[in-house]
Structure 1
């Protein structure tokens, strides 16, 4: 499993990159001031970082208890991981968006659907890149994952 410091690096990098992408885009699309969307984005960042650390630890524990290896991870497992992370965050994000951005329930819901769509793709790509750049000790993710993808017919 990854160390606590590695998990912290993962969460911080994930959120810093996301903040740089989401804040100006949300401001433009939602017609809100940049400082308002920045405050919302930072608040969501703090919430998401806490959830990220907890969720990834729980996910790894669940894999180990199920007798599954932590690496390599198939495309379908990565997609499931990203989807479940976003669904857990969604439960908190809608009311938070309503409060921070002065939105109705439907406006908050629609804004969060847009963010979840972005984050599903972003989380999948970020986690794949993170595992490639910072492999777990003793793992060679690029070679292992490519062979798993080839065996499962998912790399085509």
Structure 2
């Protein structure tokens, strides 16, 4: 993937994640769309910053070839990332939506489960759509070249 495509992939992922999270929270809570939208934008921004910081620290701990990391280390990596993110975002969500820490925890767990499934599906669909587009472009160029 080119840098432009990676940026497109990331921005589309985040825009859709925030949109779907807001819709889900709006269905299951009585908060206004505006409050949920602002909160999810803040949470997404925190997640991006946390991702950078956490992975920098994790790479200091887990030195060596990243491709040779064990399954167990990868499970530990994602678990610690998500726990750390929850510790950071639960108080923020509680504050921004004026709910208790327990309510924010329940909402944040729901968003975390949703985002985990969403990212898996998003990347699966994106990869297939990308392969289809590349194949169609290749066929189009082959047809034009034979004229």
CA RMSD between the two structures:
3.2
Cα pair distance change 1:17/1:72, threshold 3 Å: farther
Unaligned 5+ segments in structure 2 are 128-147
Match of 1:15 in 2: 14
Partner of 2:83: 87
Deviation >3 Å, runs of 4+: 8-14, 72-79, 119-123
Question: What is the aligned partner in structure 2 of residue 45 from structure 1?
Answer: 44
- Secondary structure, counterpart of 2:66 in structure 1: coil
**TM-aligned CA distance change 1:105 to 1:24, over 3 Å:** same
> Could you tell me how far apart the structure 1 residues matched to 2:35 and 2:61 are?
38
Q: CA deviation at 1:61?
A: 3.4
CA contact (8 A) 1:86 1:119 kept: no
How many residue pairs were aligned?
122
- Helix, strand or coil at the partner of 2:67: coil
Structure possessing the higher radius of gyration over alpha carbons: 2
Q: Which residue of 1 aligns with 2:28?
A: 29
Over 3 Å counting, the alpha-carbon distance change for 1:15 and 1:102 in structure 2 is: same
CA contact (8 A) 1:23 1:38 kept: yes
Distance 1:63 1:13 in 2: 30
Task: Tell me which protein shows more helix as a share of its residues.
Answer: 2
Q: 1:109 aligns with which of 96, 105, 108?
A: 105
Q: Structure 2: how far apart are the matches of 1:14 and 1:73?
A: 26
| Counterpart Cα distance in 2 of 1:14 and 1:78 | 22
Match of 2:54 in 1: 55
Unmatched 5+ residue regions in structure 1?
A: 134-156
**1:100 alignment partner in structure 2:** 96
- Change in CA separation of 1:58 and 1:15 when aligned onto 2, cut-off 3 Å: farther
